[in-house]
């Protein structure tokens, strides 16, 4: 996960300040037709792929670790998805 999001530094600052953010573990159950799209969106949102399992021929579970600030649930219902998330157990 790219944690180098600090781009502007004060003139007297030689090293970036440490940036921390909350990471959540997303379990996304989706129709298999949407797997590629969801993987692409998750990676665009700074997600780290963790796991993928085919539940049936038509349903798949994807697991990603994503920064909580990147999680947007507005189109979940329209795509027929089911999402569950919790704080990831990591140093961030």
pLDDT at residue 92, as a whole number? 46
Tell which CATH architecture fits domain 23-87.
Answer: 2-Layer Sandwich (3.30)
- In the chain, where are the structural domains located? 23-87
pLDDT (tens digit, 9 = 90+) per residue, 12-47? 666 666 777 788 888 888 899 999 999 998 898 889
The C-alpha atoms of residue 68 and residue 83 are separated, in whole angstroms, by 13
Phi-psi map region of 82: left, alpha, beta (phi>0 left; psi -120 to 50 alpha): beta
The C-alpha atoms of residue 49 and residue 4 are separated, in whole angstroms, by 19
Would you say 50 and 43 are in contact if contact means Cβ atoms under 8 Å apart?
Answer: no
Summary mean pLDDT of the chain: 76
């Amino acid at each position: 996960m790219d944690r180098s999001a600090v781009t502007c530094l004060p003139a007297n600052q030689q090293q970036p300040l440490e940036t921390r953010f909350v990471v959540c573990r997303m379990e996304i159950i989706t129709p298999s037709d949407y797997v590629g799209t969801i993987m692409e969106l998750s990676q665009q949102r700074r997600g780290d792929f963790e796991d993928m399992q085919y539940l049936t021929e038509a349903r798949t579970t994807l697991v990603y670790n994503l920064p909580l600030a990147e999680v947007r649930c507005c189109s979940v219902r329209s795509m027929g998805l089911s999402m569950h998330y919790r704080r990831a157990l990591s140093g961030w």
